[in-house]
Amino acid sequence: MEKRLKRIRQYDDIFVHSDTLTCTLSGCVPCLYKINPSGLWFDEENDNYLIVKENQRPEMCPRSNSSTYRGLYNQRMNILTLGDGDFSFSLSICKGLKPKYAKHLVSTSYESYKTVRSTYLSAHEHILELQSLGSQVLHNVDACQLSEGNLPEFKFDRVVWNFPCVAAQNGLDGQATELQLNIDMMKSFFQNVGNVLKQLPDSGSEEASYPSEVHITHKTIEPFSWWHMEDIAKSQGFALIGKIVFDRLALQFIVF
Ligand SMILES: C[S@@+](CC[C@H](N)C(=O)[O-])C[C@H]1O[C@@H](n2cnc3c(N)ncnc32)[C@H](O)[C@@H]1O
């Protein structure tokens, strides 16, 4: 219990999507863990005693069967996804767009098509579906070398990278031992991403309330917290707008 108490999240600078919160309050354990990684829960029957619920697979969330995704994206936006894995994330965004706007979504992987396909069993199917919906799918896109030369000509309102991590050998992701490599990669990314973001609009323009954003999903426990992601972004001139508990069903992200 003491160990778990230490894992209570600091709530003063993080938002929770209303779907995640509502789900938690109706008893969903995977959502409880998203909000509170300690699993502590108020036991109403015994009034003020805290109990620990054991975590459950994400599929136990009653929303996991829903094909309706809500979140931070809409069809007015040009959206670039980076470092996707099996392309299910890009596909979920794409399905939320009206068909004629699917071409505004550019979905990319760092790896070649061949590597993606051999690493993720479902990738091929997801890529085909994305393409049939009209989204552009690109491979070998390096988030640290973004330029108009290797992407479609338009610029983006949203650039999204979920769980960035340097690639280690055997298809694994680099962890603590690659700390400096990860930091350097993110620094390079934030140095480059401005090349493909739409210009921030003038305060007087129609789009004034609609500036470009970079969304990074990142774990907050050690060793991931050692990256100091916010400091990296700030060092490259980005301001933190907010942090949101990640919920793949609500598509929420850390927002710069
Ligand atoms: C932990 S995986 C996350 C995969 C996927 N985004 C997800 O959320 O399941 C890290 C991803 O970062 C990608 N990556 C590593 N270096 C990259 C780079 N320089 N540019 C773009 N993606 C990169 C890897 O290919 C891998 O897909």
Q: Output the CA 166–ligand 1 centroid distance in Å.
A: 7
Taking CA 32 as the corner, what is the angle to CA 239 and CA 56, rounded to the nearest 5 degrees?
Answer: 120
23 closest CA partner among 38, 33, 13: 33
DSSP string, 138-187: E-S--TTS--GGGS-SS-BSEEEEES---B-GGGPBP-GGGHHHHHHHHH
Contact 16, 245 (CB under 8 A): yes
Q: What is the pLDDT of residues 102-119, one digit of tens each?
A: 999 999 999 999 999 999
Q: What is the pLDDT of residues 138-180, one digit of tens each?
A: 999 999 999 877 788 889 999 999 999 997 665 555 566 789 9
Map residue 204 onto helix, strand or coil. coil
Q: Output the CA 111–ligand 1 centroid distance in Å.
A: 8
Q: Output the CA 189–ligand 1 centroid distance in Å.
A: 12
How far does Cα 117 stand from its chain's mean position?
Answer: 21
pLDDT > 90? residue 64: no
- What residue owns the CA closest to ligand 1's atom 26? 83
Q: Output the CA 162–ligand 1 centroid distance in Å.
A: 7
pLDDT > 70? residue 2: no
Alpha helices in the chain (DSSP H): 2-6, 18-25, 29-35, 88-95, 113-119, 123-133, 179-192, 229-235
- Ligand 1 site, CB within 6 A: 82-85, 110-111, 142-144, 162-167, 173, 185
| Positive or negative torsion for Cα 245, 248, 251, 256 | positive
